[in-house]
C-alpha cells in the first residue's frame, strides 16, 4: 500500500515549503515505523533564504572601538595561532577575553569573540601572521563533535561558531561532550565540530530551518531514562539514540514516553535492542524533540517528513535509509 501526502506550509518569512512524502510500507510495520520514505523540500523560487551556510544569519554592526580593541588584544595574545584557535583553546580564549575587557570592559565575551571571527572574515587580521598550527587528529572525535554540535544547533537555532563564542552555550557544548566520556578531550571535540562546519557537514536540515513549530530539544543519558521515564512527555515528537560512535537510531512517534518505554523494555528494532544490551548505558544518549501544542508535528505525515530528513543527513546506524 502506498500513501502520497503533500503538505504546503506558508511561513511568516514568505518561504513556501512543499514537502512531498511518498510512503511505502507494509501492513506489518509495527508502531507506524517507516520502511521507505522520500522527502523533497522545495523552496519558493522567488524567495531567497537569508541564512548563511552554517545556519546562522545573525549579524552585529561594526563598532570601531570594539574592533580596535579586538585587533589589539588578538595581536597581543594569539601566540602565533589563528583566530579559530584563540576561540577553541581554553587558555588562549581566557587570555583574549581578559585583554579585550581591559580595553572595552562593557563588551560581552560573545560580542568580542563574534567580532574576532568577523574581522578575520573581513580580512582585517591579515597583517597579524599565523606562525603556529595545532595539528591533531580529530577523527575519533568527529561523531561526538557532530552530535554535540547538532544538539546545540537544534536547541538554540545558532551556528556552532556562535555557540562557542557564547560562554553559556560553550559550557553546554562541553557538558554534552563530557556526557559521552568524562575525560574526553574537549578541545579536540570543538575542533572536530569546527572542521565539520567548514566542510559544510553541519548544515541544518531544510525542514528544520523552514518549519520549527516551537521545537524544544533535551538530551538524556539512557541510564537516566531507565531510572525515570516519567521525565519524557506523552506527546508527539522525534527521538534520537547516539553514542560516541555516532547516531544509532532516529524515530518519530505520537507518544514519546510510550515509544521510548518500548525501546528500553525490549526494542522491536532487533539491532538496536542488541546494541543497547551490549553497551554501557551511561554513554548512550537519547535526544528528544518536542513541539508546541497544536503544531503540525501532530500530523503523522509531517513527523515522517522531519524524521526522514534527519535520517538522510545524520545517517543513523540502525535505521533503514529513506
DSSP conformation letters of 260-322: HHHHHHH-SSHHHHHHHHHS-GGG-EEEEEE--TTSGGGSHHHHHHHHHHHHHHH--TTSPP-
Question: Which grid cell sits at 155?
Answer: 536547541
What average pLDDT does range 85-93 have in this prediction?
98
Residues 6+ apart with CB under 8 A from 278: none
Question: Which grid cell sits at 106?
Answer: 562593557
Confidence (pLDDT) at 301:
86
Question: Which helix (H) or strand (E) covers residue 248, if one does?
Answer: strand 246-253
In contact, 102 and 70? CB cutoff 8 Å: no
CA distance 165 to 109: 7
Confidence of residue 55 (pLDDT cuts 50, 70, 90): very low
More confident: 60 or 137: 137
More confident: 54 or 9: 54
pLDDT score of 267 more than 90:
no
CA distance 208 to 215: 9
In contact, 211 and 296? CB cutoff 8 Å: yes
> In the chain, what are the domains?
2-50+203-314 (3.40.1440.10), 64-121 (no CATH), 139-198 (no CATH)
More confident: 23 or 129: 129
Question: Which grid cell sits at 98?
Answer: 581578559
CA distance 219 to 317: 19
Task: Number of helices (H) and strands (E) in the chain: give both, helices first.
Answer: 13, 7
pLDDT score of 22 more than 70:
no
Query: What is the pTM (predicted TM-score) of this model?
Result: 0.73
Question: Which grid cell sits at 39?
Answer: 522527502
Confidence (pLDDT) at 80:
97
CA distance 23 to 143: 30
Confidence (pLDDT) at 32:
36
DSSP 205: P
Burial group, residue 296, by CB count within 10 angstroms (0-12, 13-18, 19+): middle
CA-to-CA dists, residue 318 to 152, 240, 241, angstroms: 23, 11, 10
pLDDT score of 6 more than 80:
no
Confidence (pLDDT) at 172:
96
Confidence (pLDDT) at 282:
86
In contact, 283 and 244? CB cutoff 8 Å: yes
CA distance 279 to 56: 36
Which of 104-108, 130-134, 299-303 is most confident? 104-108
CA distance 232 to 216: 12
Cα 18 to the chain's mean position, in Å? 24
More confident: 220 or 214: 220
Confidence (pLDDT) at 214:
81
pLDDT score of 296 more than 80:
yes
Amino acid at each position: 500500500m502506498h500513501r502520497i501526502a503533500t503538505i504546503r506550509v506558508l511561513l511568516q518569512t514568505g518561504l513556501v515549503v512543499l514537502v512531498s512524502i511518498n510512503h511505502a510500507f507494509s501492513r506489518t510495520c509495527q508502531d507506524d515505523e517507516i520502511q521507505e520514505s522520500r522527502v523533497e523540500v522545495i523552496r519558493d523560487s522567488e524567495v531567497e533564504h537569508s541564512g548563511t551556510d552554517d545556519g546562522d544569519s545573525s549579524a552585529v554592526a561594526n563598532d570601531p572601538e570594539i574592533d580596535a580593541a579586538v585587533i589589539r588584544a588578538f595581536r597581543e595574545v594569539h601566540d602565533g595561532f589563528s583566530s579559530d584557535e584563540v576561540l577553541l583553546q581554553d587558555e588562549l580564549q581566557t587570555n583574549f577575553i581578559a585583554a579585550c575587557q581591559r580595553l572595552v570592559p562593557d563588551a560581552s565575551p560573545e560580542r568580542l569573540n563574534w567580532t574576532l571571527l568577523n574581522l578575520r572574515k573581513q580580512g582585517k587580521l591579515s597583517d597579524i601572521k599565523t606562525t603556529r598550527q595545532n595539528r591533531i587528529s580529530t577523527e575519533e572525535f568527529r561523531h561526538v563533535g557532530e552530535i554535540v554540535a547538532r544538539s546545540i544547533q537544534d536547541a538554540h537555532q545558532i551556528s556552532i561558531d556562535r555557540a562557542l563564542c557564547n560562554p553559556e552555550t560553550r559550557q553546554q557544548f562541553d557538558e554534552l561532550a563530557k556526557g559521552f566520556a568524562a575525560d574526553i578531550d574537549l578541545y579536540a571535540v570543538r575542533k572536530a565540530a569546527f572542521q565539520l562546519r567548514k566542510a559544510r557537514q553541519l548544515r541544518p536540515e531544510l525542514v528544520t530551518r523552514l518549519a520549527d513549530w516551537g521545537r524544544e530539544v533535551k538530551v538524556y543519558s539512557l541510564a537516566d531514562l531507565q531510572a525515570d521515564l516519567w521525565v519524557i512527555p506523552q506527546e508527539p515528537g522525534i527521538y534520537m539514540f547516539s553514542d560516541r560512535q555516532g547516531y544509532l537510531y532516529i524515530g518519530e512517534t505520537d507518544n514519546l514516553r510510550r515509544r521510548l518505554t518500548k525501546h528500553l523494555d525490549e526494542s522491536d528494532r532487533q539491532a538496536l535492542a542488541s546494541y543497547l544490551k551490549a553497551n554501557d548505558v551511561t554513554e548512550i544518549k537519547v535526544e528528544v524533540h518536542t513541539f508546541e501544542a497544536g503544531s503540525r508535528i501532530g500530523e503523522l505525515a509531517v513527523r515522517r517528513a522531519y524524521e526522514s530528513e534527519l535520517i538522510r543527513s545524520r545517517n543513523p546506524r540502525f535505521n533503514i535509509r529513506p
